[in-house]
Amino acid sequence: MSSSPPIRVMLVDDHAMVRRGLATFLKVFDDLELVGEAGDGETAVSLCRQILPDVVLMDMLMPDVDGVTATRLIRQQFPSVQVIALTSFKEEALVQSALRAGAIGYLLKDVSAQELAQAIRAAHAGRGTLSPEVVQSMTHAAGQPSSPDYSLTEREQEVLVLLVAGLNNNEIATKLVVSPSTIKSHVSNILAKLDVTSRTEAAALAVRHGLVD
């Protein structure tokens, strides 16, 4: 058994039945703990201030303060809190809005319990997760024969491929036999060239424009 404390999770969804189902699922995993629930974005931000969870599962479409706005406010005010968008919608515009707001992952609500648990663990470790259906939707939405030229160097392209595969800086450094600080510099350059603010957003853009196989 691991001695690490459980990952503290907060649920945000305007449907009580959805929250109840997610709460039941969380109880199955010893390393996950439900610490709070909110039915709208405004309450989510307020509750986040009180309990400071590790990971928030955020519905996107809610009345008044929606999930995108709530995600942006939480990430601005509590940078240590990771947000996973959990929704029924895979439209590219909504995905991009969520990622630009700071969500580290984007999953559909039909995700399996094991997949969601893995996404929560990944988010807690700073790694993003995109639902396969979302990736497929973004790929189809691109519909362009050629991708924009982002002027990535050959090494940056190698780093981007591994970043999209979900590797962290240390893992990429080991794979390419360089120092983690070198990879950190490459990642910063990649984010700047792609004009994105997070690794998850970079991965989504890379998939959408066919920058990686």
Tell me what the pLDDT averaged over the chain comes to.
89
Tell me, yes or no, if the pTM score tops 0.75.
no
Query: For residue 181, what are the contacts with CB-CB under 8 A and spacing of at least 6?
Result: none
What is the pLDDT averaged over residues 45-56?
Answer: 97
| Residue corresponding to tokens 């809190």 | 81
* Strand locations in the chain (E): 7-12, 32-38, 55-58, 82-87, 105-108, 129-130
Query: For residue 5, what are the contacts with CB-CB under 8 A and spacing of at least 6?
Result: none
pLDDT(47) > 70 = yes
**Percent residues over pLDDT 90 in the chain:** 61
HEC readout, 154-198: HHHHHHHHHHHCCCCHHHHHHHHCCCHHHHHHHHHHHHHHHCCCC
**What would the pLDDT profile of 158-192 be if each residue is shown by its tens digit?**
999 999 888 899 999 999 999 999 999 999 999 99
Q: Which domains does the chain have, with CATH numbers?
A: 7-140 (3.40.50.2300), 144-208 (1.10.10.10)
**What would the pLDDT profile of 128-166 be if each residue is shown by its tens digit?**
888 888 777 766 655 554 557 788 899 999 999 999 888
* Predicted local confidence at residue 1, as pLDDT: 42
- Partner residues linked to 108 by β-bridges: 87
Query: For residue 177, what are the contacts with CB-CB under 8 A and spacing of at least 6?
Result: none
